[in-house]
């Protein structure tokens, strides 16, 4: 009996020592593991950004009203729709610089907010289209008709107001945005028509007419959508990377769209 008691006592003394030396014998304690720190993104924030924009203009039949006015009350327009012959398109690039401001609401690891982003840029969008045809009208007159249309737009300012939703992963927060946008641009339209009539097969002197229109400070309205992330580099300071697409409704007949990639630096309050 004395030997049995001594053996049990020895086992009782050795077991804690082994457990102290070999953690695997103790097992893991999930309740004492340190959780991944989660940033508090709630509240106001403000920052600045710089990026790269690719703008495209779909001018459609923008010059059609000018051409139709030049050829008003003529069989050329009535029978051959000359004003619809040309449809210029164009694109341009720019480096936008601007600022953003917003407010976040955080629910555990989910973040919702509203964000306003302004960019100043100088995106020149221009395009030219021309066409020449030989046509005969119902009064048996034969013409060579040359039509040209040149359109241009300079996009200078974009403001987008967006709803934002994201999820936190420690100090990293990816998000998506959806909202409305307003842009300011200068629009230029120019069109010309040249006709050469053939009389008994002999070309006559050409008749040409051209007109141009310019509109400064034109406003365009559209929708905005984007994806991005905020990354907290030090408490209450974060880096931002973002892609945004803005599609504008037509200014007259001109439709513009802008793709922008930008990076920024922000501060939370």
C-alpha triplet 176, 178, 184: angle, nearest 5°: 125
Residues 193, 199, 201, 203, Cα dihedral to 10°: -40
Q: Is 4 left (phi over 0), alpha (psi -120 to 50) or beta?
A: alpha
* Residue-range domains of the chain with CATH: 2-268 (2.40.160.20)
pLDDT at 252: 65
Predicted local confidence at residue 34, as pLDDT? 52
Question: What spatial distance separates the first Cα and last Cα of the chain, rounded to whole Å?
Answer: 74
pLDDT digit string, tens, across residues 196-228: 999 999 999 999 999 888 888 889 999 999 999
Give 3-state DSSP helix, strand, coil % of the chain, rounded to 5. Answer: 15, 65, 20
Does this model's pTM top 0.85? My answer is no
Q: What is the predicted pLDDT for the residue at 208?
A: 94
pLDDT at 35: 56
Q: Which two tokens stand for residue 127?
A: 């395009």
Give me the pLDDT at residue 36, please.
54
Distances (CA, A) of 183 to 8, 36, 46, 136, 262: 85, 42, 21, 44, 18
Residue 185: both structure tokens together: 């641009």
Per-residue pLDDT of the chain (269 residues; tens, 9 = 90+): 444 444 434 444 444 444 444 444 444 444 445 555 667 899 999 999 999 999 988 776 667 888 888 999 899 999 999 988 887 778 889 999 999 999 999 999 999 999 999 999 999 888 888 999 999 999 999 999 999 988 888 899 999 999 999 999 989 999 999 999 999 998 888 889 999 999 999 999 999 999 888 888 889 999 999 999 999 999 999 999 999 999 998 876 778 899 999 999 999 99
């Amino acid at each position: 009996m004395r030997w049995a008691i001594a053996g049990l006592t020895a086992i009782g003394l050795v077991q804690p020592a082994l457990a102290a030396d070999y953690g695997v014998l103790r097992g893991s304690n999930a309740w004492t593991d340190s959780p991944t720190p989660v940033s508090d993104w709630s509240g106001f924030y403000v920052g600045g950004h710089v990026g790269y924009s690719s703008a495209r203009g779909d001018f459609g039949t923008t010059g059609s009203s000018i051409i139709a006015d030049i050829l008003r009350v003529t069989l050329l327009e009535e029978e051959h729709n000359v004003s619809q012959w040309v449809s210029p398109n164009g694109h341009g690039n720019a480096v936008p610089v601007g600022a953003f401001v917003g407010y976040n609401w955080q629910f555990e690891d989910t973040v919702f907010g509203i964000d306003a982003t302004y960019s100043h840029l100088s995106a020149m969008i221009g395009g030219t289209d021309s066409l020449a045809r030989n046509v005969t009208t119902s009064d048996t007159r034969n013409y060579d008709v040359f039509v040209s249309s040149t359109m241009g737009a300079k996009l200078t300012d974009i403001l987008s107001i967006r709803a934002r939703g994201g999820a936190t992963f420690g100090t990293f927060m990816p998000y998506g945005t959806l909202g409305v946008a307003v842009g300011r641009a200068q629009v230029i339209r120019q069109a010309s028509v040249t006709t050469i009539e053939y009389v008994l097969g002999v070309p006559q002197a050409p008749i040409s007419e051209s007109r141009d229109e310019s509109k400064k400070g034109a406003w365009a309205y559209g929708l905005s959508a984007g994806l991005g992330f905020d990354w907290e580099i030090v408490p209450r300071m974060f880096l931002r990377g973002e892609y945004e697409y803005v599609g504008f409704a037509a200014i007259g007949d001109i439709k513009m769209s802008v793709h922008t990639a930008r990076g920024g630096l922000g501060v939370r309050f």
